[in-house]
Amino acid sequence: MAVSPQEEIYNRELVEEKQFSFELLSDTGNKVAKSFGLVYTLPDDLRQLYIKFGIDLEKYNGDETWTLPIPARYIIDGTGIIRYVKADPDYTVRPEPEDTLAALKEITQ
């Protein structure tokens, strides 16, 4: 599954457009991301750049905070214990799926 601060209607549109094979959950107000310490506020220069490219966070996220979550990947076991985490404030740096699968295999052995 994936979690996004976008309102549910925009997540549904994205799932349909991209034909995701996984669930995309809405984290309205970045509440879950905040609980993990993963929220940052976009500085004014980036806000202007987003607006220039037609990315309206106020519209998509349903609030005026201009906050986004730091991209992160978690493996959480059935008892709620975090067994694996990779997070990087640089949104272009993402863990390879193979790394996550290897961590999952290691945890479940």
Burial track 66-95 (b if 16+ CB lie within 10 A, e otherwise): bbbbebbbebeeeeeeeebebeeeeeeeeb
Give the pLDDT of residue 91.
83
Q: Could you tell me what percent of the chain has a pLDDT over 90? A: 86
Give the pLDDT of residue 37.
94
- Domain segments of the chain as ranges: 1-70, 75-109
- The stretch 9-15 carries a mean pLDDT of 96
Mean pLDDT across the chain, nearest whole number? 94
Q: pLDDT tens, 65-96?
A: 999 999 999 999 889 999 999 999 888 898 88
Give the pLDDT of residue 92.
87
